[in-house]
């Protein structure tokens, strides 16, 4: 990526500080210079804050995203063919993160059943949201690191790969994300949208479905903010020639009945076996339908492929291709403690953030990138909102290898659930809207 003009960083900062619009040349120069270390951290921090306060219009965000993509390599799957020589359309999914969100695990093999290629480049968890790679690493032998050649081969032969992203995809974003994290500018929608979309577009997929979470367990707490983020990202995808659609989905309650690593893998396998919690099945099938439609594959029936074992067959091949043993026993936490219902009634509320923090404190997540996670740690829920509960019945089981962590987890769960008279029934709405 080459900057055609040179600017003074202070002038770029002042333009955005005063509510002005950055030119494409200014944006390209800024990203190039910052990636090379020619703009000081404090100067980029000031520019981030100016963007946070004054925003960017669609043209600015699109150019900012394109400049971050151009800072590294862009994958190309246009030559991908299956063993029979037929072209394979690529389609991908990105979730903005939540508690119990294991959807990628059953989704990737399910979509691959119908001839699409799913290059799902994923990450590890930080804080209360779990990481897809952390979950899969609970499977004995499974490897997150896959070479470019092995990825292409696996996509051709299996149809799906879930692996770590290479370090040369949008390297500008890696620097910017770390800076935003320590300067209070993470919540800027232009910076969030360009961060997510620069990586997803650089991954080279032709179609993309975004799962934008809304609620207390999500990054976006309000529907209005989530809708703005979804609309911004859909526009960025279309500007880059990627067929993009977004779903707004609820994250006020955890997805499924587990929050952890190995226990979420087991729940995903249950879904692939034709069972599993209704909300996980519903979202998996809906996202599969959207991904297949976006890829130009019409008339598919993902729900049937879960029930008849086709998705499970692809799952097993995908896990084996990355060194894992899909038949191996998953890790189990050494210690457990039960949280009981304090009264009779209907469970009308279960705070996703509280459950996520509890799982994190039990060892399922990390506070720093270098922290080690416990594969067996987490929270198993025995009831979801809408269920009738009785005093003294188990509501949750806390799992960890280190029993001294139970106290912190229980403190996080204080006030996390609401029980109302049996005449009460919560209004559950998993999929809020579709943005296209």
Looking at 71, 95, 195, 198, which residue is catalytic? 195
Looking at 92, 134, 173, 239, which residue is catalytic? 173
Backbone angles phi, psi at 350, to 5 degrees: -140, 105
Whether the Cβ atoms of residue 67 and residue 59 lie closer than 8 Å to each other: no
Burial code (b: 16+ CB inside 10 Å, e: under 16) for 88-99 equals bbbbbbbbbbbb
Between vectors from CA 327 to CA 155 and to CA 137, what angle results, nearest 5°? 60
How far is the first Cα of the chain from the last one, in angstroms, to the nearest whole number? 31
Looking at 199, 227, 286, 384, which residue is catalytic? 199
Whole-angstrom distance, CA of residue 322 vs CA of residue 162: 9
Residue 298 among the catalytic residues: no
Whether the Cβ atoms of residue 139 and residue 324 lie closer than 8 Å to each other: yes
Residue 94 among the catalytic residues: yes
Question: What is the number of other CB atoms lying within 10 angstroms of the CB of residue 397?
Answer: 17
Tokens, residue 192: 């969030």
Residue 156 among the catalytic residues: no
Residue 102 among the catalytic residues: no
Looking at 16, 93, 94, 227, which residue is catalytic? 94
Helix, strand or coil, per DSSP, at residue 231: helix
Looking at 102, 128, 180, 213, which residue is catalytic? 180
Residue 173 among the catalytic residues: yes
Tokens, residue 374: 């416990």
Work out whether strand 160-164 and strand 118-122 pair parallel, antiparallel, or are unpaired: parallel
Whole-angstrom distance, CA of residue 361 vs CA of residue 181: 21
Q: Active-site residues: which are they?
A: 94, 173, 180, 195, 199
């Amino acid at each position: 990526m080459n900057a055609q003009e040179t600017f003074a960083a202070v002038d770029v900062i002042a333009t955005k500080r005063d509510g002005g619009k950055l030119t494409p040349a200014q944006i390209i120069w800024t990203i190039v210079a910052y990636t090379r270390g020619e703009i000081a951290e404090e100067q980029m921090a000031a520019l981030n804050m100016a963007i946070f306060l004054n925003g960017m219009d669609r043209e600015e965000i699109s150019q900012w995203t394109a400049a971050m993509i151009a800072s590294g390599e862009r994958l190309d799957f246009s030559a991908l063919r299956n063993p029979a020589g037929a072209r394979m359309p690529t389609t991908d999914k990105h979730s903005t993160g939540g508690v119990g969100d294991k959807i990628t695990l059953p989704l990737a093999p399910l979509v691959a059943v119908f001839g699409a290629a799913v290059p799902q480049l994923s990450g590890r968890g930080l804080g209360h949201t779990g990481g897809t790679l952390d979950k899969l690493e609970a499977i004995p032998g499974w490897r997150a690191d896959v070479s470019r050649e092995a990825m292409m081969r696996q996509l051709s032969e299996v149809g799906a790969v879930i692996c770590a992203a290479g370090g040369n995809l949008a390297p500008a974003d890696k620097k910017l994300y770390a800076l935003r994290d320590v300067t209070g500018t993470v919540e800027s929608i232009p910076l969030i949208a360009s961060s997510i979309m620069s990586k997803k577009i650089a991954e080279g997929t032709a179609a993309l479905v975004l799962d934008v979470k809304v609620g207390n367990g999500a990054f976006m707490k309000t529907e209005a903010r989530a809708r703005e983020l979804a609309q911004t990202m859909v526009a960025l995808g279309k500007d880059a020639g990627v067929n993009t659609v977004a779903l707004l989905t609820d994250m006020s309650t955890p997805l499924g009945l587990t929050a952890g690593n190995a226990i979420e893998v087991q729940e995903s396998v249950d879904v692939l076996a034709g069972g599993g919690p209704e909300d996980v099945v519903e979202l998996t099938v809906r996202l599969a339908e959207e991904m297949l439609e976006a890829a130009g594959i019409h008339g598919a029936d993902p729900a049937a492929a879960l029930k008849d074992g086709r998705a499970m067959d692809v799952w097993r091949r995908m896990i084996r291709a990355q060194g894992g043993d899909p038949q191996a026993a998953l890790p189990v936490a050494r210690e457990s403690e039960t949280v009981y219902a304090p009264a009779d009634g209907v469970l009308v509320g279960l705070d996703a953030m509280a459950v996520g923090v509890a799982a994190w404190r039990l060892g399922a997540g990390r506070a720093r990138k270098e922290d080690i996670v416990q594969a067996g740690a987490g929270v198993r829920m025995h009831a979801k909102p809408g269920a009738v509960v009785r005093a003294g019945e188990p509501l949750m089981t806390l799992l960890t290898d280190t029993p001294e962590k139970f106290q912190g987890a229980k403190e996080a769960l204080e006030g996390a659930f609401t029980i109302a008279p049996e005449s009460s029934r919560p209004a559950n709405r998993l999929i809020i809207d579709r943005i296209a």
